[in-house]
Chain A
Amino acid sequence: AQSVTQPDIHITVSEGASLELRCNYSYGATPYLFWYVQSPGQGLQLLLKYFSGDTLVQGIKGFEAEFKRSQSSFNLRKPSVHWSDAAEYFCAVGEGTGGFKTIFGAGTRLFVKA
């Protein structure tokens, strides 16, 4: 069965430091991959997505993610974290033709310290 694993329940980084959030997926075919962010009291917002092509994808708010098929990973990165990046981050994989259902990971909560 398809699954998404986010190994880190929470991560704390200093403002201005770099960030990498890990995501591993299990899916037989070429996956549709997503990263969403959930700010406190808000719904989820799409940061970036990957289906094919360049394995390094750029998203909003300065985030990027790299698809590595050999490692079944889709890690999210940001070179310099801002205090406003504190939120919960969800990796997700779309399944089915056209990705009509989305399987979400358990999420990683990011804390940013001054």
Chain B
Amino acid sequence: DADVTQTPRNRITKTGKRIMLECSQTKGHDRMYWYRQDPGLGLRLIYYSFDVKDINKGEISDGYSVSRQAQAKFSLSLESAIPNQTALYFCATSDPGTSVYNEQFFGPGTRLTVL
């Protein structure tokens, strides 16, 4: 079984709808991240969480919110989706306790299309 899972894998929605993307991990890592990937822009950090009570904005947090329900779960919400939020979204985890290099482990991604 995959260590980092994301649901759904694909989603098409309409402008103005509320959308939640979910991420679960079995790696036991404290740190979790949400990125979006756009062609030619690489990955950009939306939010990150160092533990359940520590949530931080990334470089492009506007229009997004997150919830860290447990160590293993980190959800990303789009309160009112807009077309320029169409992108590939990745969840990732890391555990600096075991790796000073902060290697990140990625889920398979969620492809979101906002019409």
Contact = CB atoms under 8 A, between A and B. Distances in A.
Interface of A: 4, 9, 32, 34, 36, 41-46, 49, 51, 90, 94, 98-102, 104-107
A56 B23 CA distance: 35
A102 B96 CA distance: 13
A7 to B, nearest CB: 13
Contacts of B40: 9, 106-107
Nearest to B41: A106
Given A43-B4, A44-B90, A105-B42, A99 B102 contact: yes
Contact of A98 (B42, B92, B96): B96
B25 to A, nearest CB: 12
Contacts of A49: 101, 103
Interface residues of B, number: 25
Chain A interface, >50% SS class: strand
B90 A43 contact: yes
Given A43-B108, A100-B96, A101-B48, A32 B102 contact: yes
A102 B90 CA distance: 14
Nearest to B96: A98
B107 A90 contact: no
Given A9-B40, A101-B45, A101-B48, A44 B102 contact: no
Contact of A100 (B31, B41, B42): B31
A102 B106 contact: no
27 contacts: A4-B42, A32-B102, A41-B108, A41-B109, A43-B4, A43-B90, A43-B107, A46-B103, A46-B104, A51-B100, A90-B42, A90-B43, A94-B101, A98-B96, A98-B100, A99-B96, A99-B101, A99-B102, A100-B31, A100-B96, A100-B102, A101-B45, A101-B48, A102-B45, A102-B102, A102-B104, A106-B40
Contacts of A100: 31, 48, 50, 94, 96, 102
Interface in B64-101: 90, 92, 94, 96, 100-101
A32 B41 CA distance: 20
A104 B43 contact: yes
